[in-house]
Structure 1
């Protein structure tokens, strides 16, 4: 196994992990969590990997059959496969209504091959990950660092409503960094910037990062994949909602990634009644729409 000089510092089952998987932030975050819990990797066997740019590209998706010593139970478990991909940033855009069920929510519809829905599409919140950031393992940080989120240009800037709400003065949510998210820190500014980018790509609407609220990160499907979703939300204006309605018949996304998304607008009640989204998306919506006003603080934007 080619570990690019890392093999000498590895012990036990670590030596079974291919360097392409080892170097991904998604593996390092999973492995850091396991070690922090006291668990030991006794062995590993790669099942498959999916690369970013074909055969020679960096690892994007990976599956690893692992043999783990579970410290809390003093036993060995070796019958499961760990699957992971880069973390995603997800945005819940909404316009409040008289009640929760009457609150209007912005979704995107996209054909995804794993979908087992009546129409063959997934209906979800705008969001995604950056393949470029997935390619390199983040160095463990020695101090709090953050980069200013990129301000993407909207592909529909000329058509975008001008009467948008003013950005809220940014205030710290829980600090600029989260320890052990990628073997070092996950920078809130990084995932926030990614959320802004993904919203523009998938809906055409540009929302200033200062209006976003951060709800933290959780695994999306803990028995299936180790990756996390970083959830953000933003209340939109009537003008922005009206503009988004004009986009429902216009495809968005990134053609080079075979991504094609369509804006959908529905009330929370309609989403529940039609069973329009999966359980994970429904949970993220509930988190975003039911947070008490006293806890609603904007995501920090640092420079």
Structure 2
């Protein structure tokens, strides 16, 4: 974490008040081990909200790591907590796992149904070939649906359309064409983040643009 320097004590106090004004909730037990910047992160709220909804309790928490991006490293992208969770359904505590999370992603499945197509196997789906540092494929590239995440809060469908435009160069302004298939957790044993999936049927002209 970078240290914030203020020219006057009044500025420092105002900054502290601003940081804490959105976290008036009283924390108990392991909640007190969650750093403020993680506590306020949407990915943490989603994960912890799901845990509390089924009666689980955070009895212990050790902050392990965070990864920030942006010109001034102002955006929290990933964080890791070593947690001790009381599992109500099993009446036991589990403390040998970490919670890794990142900002949720929005993905689009753009597909084209050619004339005379008899079924899904005859359709064309647009995939992006992109280098990903963790890749272990034969060429170390990943073939995936257009998608990603944004640091500015937007409606999922707006973000999905933006990702399609950014990665494919295809701008679809009529958002009613996008079919919402809901969010799903991609790797529940590894990461708490989710992917919001949308699909959109392309016209022949749009499909030709993507080839």
Q: TM-score normalized by structure 2?
A: 0.84
Task: Find the counterpart in structure 2 of residue 194 from structure 1.
Answer: 159
How many pairs does the alignment contain?
Answer: 189
User: Aligned partners of 2:25 and 2:170: how far apart in 1?
Assistant: 49
SS at match of 1:101: helix
User: Aligned partners of 1:240 and 1:53: how far apart in 2?
Assistant: 33
Cα pair distance change 1:15/1:242, threshold 3 Å: same
Task: Find the counterpart in structure 1 of residue 11 from structure 2.
Answer: none
Cα pair distance change 1:55/1:63, threshold 3 Å: farther
Task: Find the counterpart in structure 1 of residue 146 from structure 2.
Answer: 126
Task: Find the counterpart in structure 2 of residue 85 from structure 1.
Answer: 102
User: Aligned partners of 2:30 and 2:184: how far apart in 1?
Assistant: 27
Structure number having the greater strand percentage: 2
Deviation at 1:242, TM superposition (A): 1.0
The one of the two structures with greater contact order (alpha-carbon pairs below 8 A, sep at least 6) is: 1
- Contact preservation (8 Å) 1:217, 1:231: yes
Aligned counterpart in structure 2 of residue 4 of structure 1, from 17, 20, 24: 20
Q: Which has the larger radius of gyration?
A: 2
User: Aligned partners of 1:110 and 1:71: how far apart in 2?
Assistant: 42
1:108 aligns with 2:128: yes
Task: Find the counterpart in structure 1 of residue 53 from structure 2.
Answer: 36
The within-5 A match list for 1:30-179 is 30-53=47-70, 56-96=73-113, 97-133=117-153
1:224 aligns with 2:195: no
User: Aligned partners of 1:42 and 1:65: how far apart in 2?
Assistant: 11
User: Aligned partners of 1:7 and 1:196: how far apart in 2?
Assistant: 36
The within-5 A match list for 1:188-267 is 190-207=155-172, 208-245=174-211
SS at match of 1:59: strand
1:13 aligns with 2:30: yes
Structure 2 residues without counterparts, runs of 5 or longer = 1-15
User: Aligned partners of 1:216 and 1:236: how far apart in 2?
Assistant: 20
Cα pair distance change 1:215/1:22, threshold 3 Å: same
User: Aligned partners of 1:53 and 1:240: how far apart in 2?
Assistant: 33
SS at match of 1:206: coil
- Contact preservation (8 Å) 1:34, 1:40: yes
Deviation at 1:54, TM superposition (A): 6.4
